[in-house]
Amino acid sequence: MSRNSTAGRAGTTTAAADSAPAPAGTPAPRRALLRGLPWVVWRRHRTLLRIGLLVTLASCALFAYQRIGVLDFLHGKGSAPGGDGRLLDEFQSSFTPMFNRDLQFMESLPLLVGVFLGAPLIAGEREHNTIRLVTTQSVSRGRWIAVALGLPLAVAAVCTALLSAAFTWLWSPAHDLVGGGDWLQSGAFDSTGPVPVAKTLFLAACGIALGLLAKRVVPAMAATAVFGFAFSVVWSERVRERLGTLRSLSYPYDGDGPHLPPGSVRIDDWVSTADGRLYGYGTCVNGDTAACRAKLGIVNRVTQYFDYGQMPGMQWLGAGILLALTAAVLALVVWRTHRRPL
Amino acid sequence: MSEPNSWAVEARGLGKKYRRGWALEDCSFRLPAGHICALVGPNGAGKSTFLGTATRLVQPTTGSLKLFGVPVGDPAVLERFAFLAQDKPLYPRFTVAEILRLGRELNPRWDQALAERIVRSGNVPFTARIGTLSGGQRTRVAFALAFGKRPELLLLDEPMSDLDPLARHELSGLLMAEAAEHGTTVLMSSHMLSEMEDMCDYLVVLAEGRLRMAGQTEELVPAHMLVTGVAGGDSGVPDELLRQHTVVESRVTGRQFSALIRPGGPLSDSWEALVPSMEEVLLAYLRSPEAPVLITDEARIDSDATKEAAA
């Protein structure tokens, strides 16, 4: 649409030029929404931002379509996995590939935005020296950096928020069945609620900062990719499980169990004494196990887990931490572009 | 000339230190409005650093710089000047029309008709993308963007260096015509001395980060004389010359002595004197870093004023 309007405007300018002197400073008749600096920033990233918006709309439509199939299945067969696991098997054979693709897409989104939108944002301006073009027009550097960062990040935030909402809408009716009900490790934790938005903004901000330091697009993108992988390892191995307090369920050593609440994620198993002292699950499994247990006083087994009800709290806490880090990184970028010669 | 706006550029003790050392040191001069000024010097003389401080791309370490009385630290100065960097950066995916729109969106004093006229006179199609244009066409679009801003001061960094002779001729003509029509002060750096001689009526010479010469060419060049005569004295420089005149550069070939001097009084008849060209004067100054600095009264910012500004 903008291409048409641009061509049309250029056409009228040349046509007007042939007959009469072109009017000075005529505002563009269309896209009145985008003027001044936002127009320049939008035009500069037009292709990428349009692709982002299109992918968002297409994916939301796809999620909505997929939801019809999921709901059909759930209405026919029920949504809680039964004891024998037949429902789970059936669900997994028909929906696992679909959900795996969706989850992979949702999980890769932050890194893609960081590498392709964040990293080139300032690195591209520096590499081609166009930063000297924009910062020597009549707009102060503070305003330029605010719009240059704000507009792309706002579009990224809106797109991921839409995608996350659509995917959450698709996933939540079947949350007990997707990935065997494991909302933490299956990717659902990072693909629903506020987490995708926060992760995307964080990696985009880090890409921008790395681009500012690297001054070249390709090294900036490579650095952002490496950083993104390192971040995802730290996030899933070290951070995610510390966002909530583990709950414990004790049951007799030889008894039946554990009977965890539906939708909970089992994290760890222990054995324990009557007064609650924990030993590793591998304690007293070799040799005279009964005597060993008697000596230590082990009478119970303990399972630690996260309840499904803890998920939103953990997600918002994680997202809050990431958004605070994002704000810190962006503040650093703004401070540096303000202070240091570019 | 006491009105503050009559000075397009006022530098007082301007200096910039990088990790490697001073790129520009204690640079004080002023440029009256309305001149076409050449900023001359060898590579690494501090020309780009000076232009960087004037365009807010480089933060000076010491001193102050004012454009039309507005300190460069004030964002209001952005409307006063237009800058054309050496590589003429433009967004390669923008069309020519979009580059002009960029100028219109970002500059309150934008003159669309003027910018379009400059583009059209080079037969550059408005729908062409910048990336597909030739070097000369790109420079023309960059000129259109710079002039469309309606600056009072146009700062150009090596504007013609990457152009073929034809485009160079065409664009210097455009530059001179537009500058004359709008009364724009132009400050351009270059190391093409012969070209500067045709275009510029004001000179600022930098070498090794220091100001060597500043003033109107009409005053600077006739202040010098090329003299030839018989060699004498220990260093080969005849005492008579050293006593009365300032020797910028001298050369002894056998018994013949030749020098570029700033006469401090009447010259004796034993010397054969010639009026040098601007290029000869510039080369002499650039070759001899020891030569005394020459700043005409008009370009000089006296030390009292410097102290006042510092206080």
Q: What is the pLDDT along chain B (311 residues), one digit of tens a residue?
A: 445 468 888 888 888 888 888 888 888 888 988 889 999 888 888 888 899 888 888 888 888 888 988 888 888 888 889 999 888 899 999 999 999 999 999 999 899 998 999 898 888 999 999 999 988 889 999 989 999 998 999 999 888 887 888 888 888 888 888 888 888 999 998 877 777 777 888 888 888 888 888 888 888 888 888 888 877 655 667 777 777 788 888 888 777 888 888 887 777 777 888 888 888 888 888 888 777 888 887 788 765 444 444 44
Task: Detail the DSSP E strand segments found in chain B.
Answer: 7-18, 21-32, 36-40, 62-67, 70-71, 81-84, 153-157, 185-190, 202-207, 210-216, 225-230, 246-253, 256-262, 272-274, 294-295
pLDDT tens for residues A58-78? 999 999 999 999 888 888 877
What ipTM, to 2 d.p.?
A: 0.81
> Min CA distance, B87 vs chain A (Å)?
8
Paired tokens of A210 = 């790395």
Cβ distance B97 to A9 less than 8 Å, yes or no, reads: yes
Instruction: State the distance between the two ends of chain B, measured CA to CA, in whole angstroms.
Output: 23
- What number is the average pLDDT over the span A38-54? 93
Q: What is the pLDDT of residue A15?
A: 39
Of A7, A36, A140, the CB nearest to B75: A140
One-character DSSP codes across A300-313: EEEEEEE-GGGHHH
> Min CA distance, B107 vs chain A (Å)?
5
Of A22, A43, A140, the CB nearest to B112: A22
Cβ distance A7 to B92 less than 8 Å, yes or no, reads: no
Give, to the nearest 10 degrees, the angle between helix B135-148 and helix B112-121: 160
Contacts of A37 (CB under 8 A, 6+ apart): A139, A143, A144, A147, A148, B105, B106
What strands, in cross-sheet order, belong to the sheet with B225-230? B246-253, B256-262, B225-230, B272-274
- What number is the average pLDDT over the span A223-232? 95
Question: Is A8 a residue whose pLDDT tops 70?
Answer: no
Pairing of strands B294-295, B210-216: parallel
* Size of chain B, expressed as the number of residues it contains: 311
- What number is the average pLDDT over the span A306-312? 90
Paired tokens of A88 = 């789970």
Residue with tokens 């630290």: B73
Q: What is the pLDDT of residue A206?
A: 96
Q: What are phi and psi of B111, to 5 degrees?
A: -115, 95
Residues linked to residue A303 through DSSP beta bridges, in sequence order: A249, A269
**Residue B12 identity (one-letter amino acid):** R
Q: What is the pLDDT of residue A148?
A: 92
Cβ distance B113 to A24 less than 8 Å, yes or no, reads: yes
Question: Helices (H) and strands (E) in chain B — how many of each?
Answer: 10, 15
One-character DSSP codes across B33-59: TT-EEEEE--TTSSHHHHHHHHTTSS-
Residues linked to residue B253 through DSSP beta bridges, in sequence order: B256
Q: What distance separates the 2 farthest-apart alpha carbons in chain A?
A: 105
CA angle B61, B300, B279 (to 5 degrees): 95
Of A25, A133, A342, the CB nearest to B104: A25
Chain B contact set for A35 (CB, 8 A): 105
Pairing of strands B21-32, B7-18: antiparallel
Percent of chain A with pLDDT over 90: 45
CA contacts within 13 A on the Cβ side of A43: 25
The whole-model pTM stands at 0.84
A242 in contact with B at a CB cutoff of 8 Å?
A: no
Cβ distance B78 to A140 less than 8 Å, yes or no, reads: yes
Q: Are the C-beta atoms of A136 and B79 separated by less than 8 Å? A: no
Cβ distance B106 to A139 less than 8 Å, yes or no, reads: yes
C-alpha to C-alpha distance for B292 and B276, rounded to whole angstroms:
18
Pairing of strands B272-274, B294-295: unpaired
Q: What is the pLDDT of residue B236?
A: 64
Residue A173 vs residues A74, A93, A102, B4, B175: alpha-carbon distances, Å: 8, 17, 15, 73, 69
Q: What are phi and psi of B84, to 5 degrees?
A: -120, 110
Q: Are the C-beta atoms of A296 and A271 separated by less than 8 Å? A: no
Tell me A238's DSSP state: I
Query: Which of A258-272, A304-318, B228-242, B262-276 has the highest average model confidence (pLDDT)?
Result: A304-318
Cβ distance B127 to A10 less than 8 Å, yes or no, reads: yes
Q: Is the peptide bond before A258 cis (omega within 30 degrees of 0)?
A: yes
Pairing of strands B153-157, B81-84: parallel
Question: Is A93 a residue whose pLDDT tops 70?
Answer: yes
Instruction: Provide the pLDDT confidence category of residue A340 given band limits of 50, 70 and 90.
Output: low
pLDDT tens for residues B213-241? 888 888 888 888 888 887 765 566 777 77
C-alpha to C-alpha distance for B5 and B89, rounded to whole angstroms:
30
A39 in contact with B at a CB cutoff of 8 Å?
A: yes
Residues linked to residue B247 through DSSP beta bridges, in sequence order: B261
Q: What are phi and psi of A147, to 5 degrees?
A: -75, -40
Of the two residues A301 and B236, the one the predictor is more confident about is A301
* 3 state DSSP class of B70: strand
**What mean pLDDT, rounded, does chain B reach?**
84
Chain A contact set for B80 (CB, 8 A): none
> Min CA distance, B175 vs chain A (Å)?
19
* 3 state DSSP class of B84: strand
Chain B contact set for A135 (CB, 8 A): 56-57
Q: What share of chain B is helix, strand, coil (3-state, %, to 5)?
A: 35, 30, 35
Question: Is A156 a residue whose pLDDT tops 90?
Answer: yes
Residues of B with CB under 8 A from a CB of A: 52, 55-59, 75, 78-79, 81-83, 85, 87, 89-98, 101-114, 116, 120, 126-127, 149
- What number is the average pLDDT over the span A16-45? 64
Cβ distance A37 to B106 less than 8 Å, yes or no, reads: yes
A135 in contact with B at a CB cutoff of 8 Å?
A: yes
A128 in contact with B at a CB cutoff of 8 Å?
A: yes
C-alpha to C-alpha distance for A90 and A201, rounded to whole angstroms:
37
**Nearest residue in A to B87, CA atom:** A129
Of the two residues A133 and B194, the one the predictor is more confident about is A133
pLDDT tens for residues A170-195? 998 888 888 877 888 888 999 999 99
Q: Compute the count of residue pairs across chains A and B with CB atoms less than 8 Å apart.
A: 107
> Min CA distance, B291 vs chain A (Å)?
33
